[in-house]
């Protein structure tokens, strides 16, 4: 990847894993996204996140037994905060788990997450990475939390 010392990225190549995240047009580029279109997620990288466990924001691995963070859109779940943790399975948005630093960056800068947050529909869960299950729903790969999830209010 071509980048300057200030962390700027070129729009024609995928970014490297790690920190600081490269910036294009003032936006930090998630590891799974293509720099020319942040809404496009590279299929190979999303599969690596699913197979990982890798962070969708920085692309770095999660250590065994570490806490990870997932974003849930309560509108998509058809529920609200009080019901989310009573369910056995909660689906993560974009099927990605993140480090705490990465979820904070995503919430602060991602326009989609900020829009969901403005509707009071963003739920951030913290779970032990080993409780994040990989599977399929309707033929599509999904990540889900079973067990020790907790809603984290102070991040949002």
DSSP line for 108-152: HH-HHHHHHHHTT-EEEEEEEGGGEEEEEETTEEEEEE-SS-EE-
Share of the chain above pLDDT 90, in %: 26
pLDDT at 78: 56
Residue ranges in 41-133 assigned as alpha helix (H): 43-51, 74-77, 81-84, 100-109, 111-118
> Cα–Cα distance between 117 and 34 in angstroms, integer?
24
139's CB contacts (< 8 A; 6+ apart) are: none
Residues pairing with 39 in the sheet: none
φ, ψ (nearest 5 deg) of residue 127: -150, 160
**88, two tokens:** 């056995």
Q: Regarding predicted confidence, which is higher, 98 or 130?
A: 98
pLDDT at 57: 95
pLDDT tens string 35-73? 888 888 898 998 888 887 789 999 999 988 888 998 888
pLDDT tens string 13-43? 899 999 999 998 888 999 999 888 888 889 8
């Amino acid at each position: 990847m071509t980048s300057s010392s200030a962390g700027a990225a070129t729009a024609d190549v995928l970014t490297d894993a790690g920190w600081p995240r490269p910036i294009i047009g003032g936006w930090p580029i998630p590891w799974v996204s293509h720099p020319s279109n942040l809404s496009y997620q590279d299929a190979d990288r999303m599969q690596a996140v699913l197979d990982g466990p890798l962070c969708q924001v920085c692309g770095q691995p999660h250590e065994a037994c570490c806490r990870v963070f997932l974003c849930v859109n309560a509108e998509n779940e058809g529920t609200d905060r009080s019901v989310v943790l009573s369910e056995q399975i909660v689906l993560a948005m974009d099927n990605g788990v993140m480090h705490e630093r990465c979820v904070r960056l995503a919430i602060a800068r991602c326009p989609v997450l900020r829009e969901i947050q403005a509707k009071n529909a963003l739920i951030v869960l913290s779970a032990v990475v080993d409780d994040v299950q990989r599977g399929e729903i309707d033929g599509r790969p999904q990540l889900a939390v079973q067990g020790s999830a907790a809603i984290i209010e102070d991040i949002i």
